[in-house]
Amino acid sequence: MLKLILILFVALSASAGDRVTGLSFATRSPVIATHGMAATSQPLATQVALDILKSGGNAIDAAIAANAMLGLVEPTGNGMGGDIFAIVWDAKTQKLYGLNGSGRSPKSLSRQWFIDNGYDKIPSHGPLPVSVPGAVDGWFMLHDKFGSKSMQEILQPAIDYAENGAPITQLIAYYWNLSVPRLSKYEGFTKQYTINGKAPKEGQLWRNPNLAHTLKIIAKDGRDAFYKGKIAHTIADYMKKQGGFLSYEDMASHHGQWVEPVSTNYRGYDVWELPPNGQGIAALQILNILELFDVSKMQLDSAQYVHLFTEAKKLAFEDRAKFYADPDFNKIPVKQLISKSYAKKRAKLINLKRAGKSYPAGNPALEKGDTIYLTVADKFGNMVSLIQSNYRGMGSGMTPPGLGFILQDRGELFTLQENHFNTFEGGKRPFHTIIPAFISKDDKPWMSFGLMGGAMQPQGHAQIVVNMIDFGMNVQEAGDAARIHHTGSSEPTGEVMTNGGILNIESGFSYPTIRALMRMGHKVQFANGPYGGYQAIRLKDGIYWGASESRKDGQAAGY
């Protein structure tokens, strides 16, 4: 009897917390709804999006409202001082549209200025890495093309919460606390982004009346109030006082761009990304290499799969370091980089038994080449994949008086190397890490998704696709599964991979797998992220299936 009890105890312990699917890593089942779905990294933002949908707004209205709300409750990842990218499935035209809402560097600043003043790289914080904030212009571009409600209605929830307060969630409080010591030295930050000099704690009410005031102005007077009115003058005057170069002229001349999303077909599914200056096509390059191998016969927790994925990532990131930049300043061979023939050539460099210490960037021309993510879908069939960021969490620390937001430090991602595609030039868009994604099948929407987290993003996008298509996971399981994050590849800022980099793997991978990877020559770090933050909406037989990141504070919800 004692033996039988022991056997039952062990069996129950082993299955405790497992989903009915049998996958022990799954945190919950997907959220399922018919009329609309929103998935964001903060529950109150999700509820704001749902309220917009329920009151008759469409997915684009709801996405803008949620993004504005996230600027209040998750300033550790985004805000009006940052940039924005989006992919929109428009049900009326049955077509995907891409928005590149990234801002440009100050026109009066040059690479030579940095060299003459003793810089070998662009600083991470302060006035020098600040580029034009593109988010507000992006909101209005989305609204002008697809919106149905007024901007006053769309921004009102964020205004109300900014005036009355919203409680700060656990992970956001944690990252906010890390930012305060670093950014408090910059004028305006402590006054506008702390409570008595400290970050708000988990559960503490956070108000931002300055942000509410700024939102009211743009809701009433439109995007020009931000880029050509008093707000632009306030930003320019503050930046000049701080020793920066961002000017009123830089603000007034800003414009985002509508771009054509690009895709590769992965085992019958079209995976869509935006072209550079973002890094989205790195995910497509990784998938093109993986498609040459029978991944479905491998196991997620196997050295065979982790090694193959890591080497494919290394190859894609060498091209990323060399070619991904502002297409207005260079001819980027996008079509060649994401071609199947180019992937076959690059895959030949992989040794299936040993980790590569270094790889050359390819020559595709010879083939004739810290963030929030949210997604919303509505009853009309529209779907939005949207990502927005200040970079480095809360951004540069530059906090103009009375405006309630922090300016981004995206300019840090330029290099000062001469003749590099991504070298600093005035009026140029930097290499960008933030990327929305989308999957279609048979020319119909299949899934809107994204995964924030710097260089983790294209790696994460590819892993989500593999998890669903090769490993047969559902939309929530695909995000819950343990992730791979390789660091140390060559970078668009000039760093070069020489020793193979470091393979960071989450705690869901077994010790025998880790040992096998080490024997193959990988330098392994265990559970040393970041591993990104994921949201997704899957459309299946007219029903929306939503998922939200278990590693963050977010929520997927529908009605």
Note if the bond before 261 is cis, omega within 30 degrees: no
Cα–Cα dist 286/190, whole Å: 42
Token pair 């082993």 is found at 14
Q: Residue-wise pLDDT tens for the chain (559 aa)? A: 444 444 434 443 444 345 677 688 999 999 999 999 999 999 999 999 999 999 999 999 999 999 999 999 999 999 999 999 999 999 999 999 999 999 999 999 999 999 999 999 999 999 999 999 999 999 999 999 999 999 999 999 999 999 999 999 999 999 999 999 999 999 999 999 999 999 999 999 999 999 999 999 999 999 999 999 999 999 999 999 999 999 999 999 999 999 999 999 999 999 999 999 999 999 999 999 999 999 999 999 999 999 999 999 999 999 999 999 999 999 999 999 999 999 999 999 999 999 999 888 876 653 333 689 999 999 999 999 999 999 988 999 999 999 999 999 999 999 999 999 999 999 999 999 999 999 999 999 999 999 988 899 999 999 999 999 999 999 999 999 999 999 999 999 988 998 899 999 998 899 999 999 999 999 998 766 678 899 999 999 999 999 999 998 999 999 9
- Beta strand spans in 34-79 (E): 37-40
Would you name the residues annotated as active-site residues? Answer: 371
SS (H, E, C) 244-270: CCCCHHHHHCCCCEEECCEEEEECCEE
Distance of alpha carbon 383 from alpha carbon 503, whole angstroms: 34
Asked if residues 173 and 87 have their Cβ atoms less than 8 Å apart, the reply is no
Strand partners, 266: 269
Domains and CATH numbers, the chain: 259-372+433-558 (1.10.246.130)
Q: Token pair for residue 458?
A: 């294209």
Structure tokens at 143: 């609204």
